[in-house]
Amino acid sequence: MRDALKNISWLVVFILMLTLGLAPFVPEPHIWEKLKMLSAGELRAGIDVFDLFMHGAPFLLAGAKLVEQFTRPTN
């Protein structure tokens, strides 16, 4: 898993966050809408949970890559 994260470039991660993570941009980013639904307790439908996962995946990838980068053993 560490090797897979290490092989993904930061440029690809940023492009994923800006496109898949934030699309559609108007009237507000989809991830923001789903997070508001989650905090209000309105995230009940399966498609909404799937949407939250799909639009949140690039941000989870960035977090995992950051953790991998800072916990990488130095040789």
Is this model's pTM higher than 0.85 or not? Answer: no
Dist CA 33 CA 35 (whole Å): 6
Across 14-37, average pLDDT:
90
Q: Which tens digits make up the pLDDT trace of 28-42?
A: 888 999 999 999 999
Please answer whether residues 75 and 9 qualify as being in contact, where contact means their C-beta atoms are separated by less than 8 angstroms: no
Q: Report the alpha-carbon angle 43-45-48, nearest 5.
A: 65
Q: Which tens digits make up the pLDDT trace of 32-75?
A: 999 999 999 998 999 999 999 999 999 999 999 999 988 887 76
* pLDDT number for residue 1: 77
Dist CA 3 CA 50 (whole Å): 27
Across 17-37, average pLDDT:
89
Burial of 75 (0-12, 13-18, 19+ CB in 10 A): exposed
What are the sequence ranges of the domains in the chain? 2-71
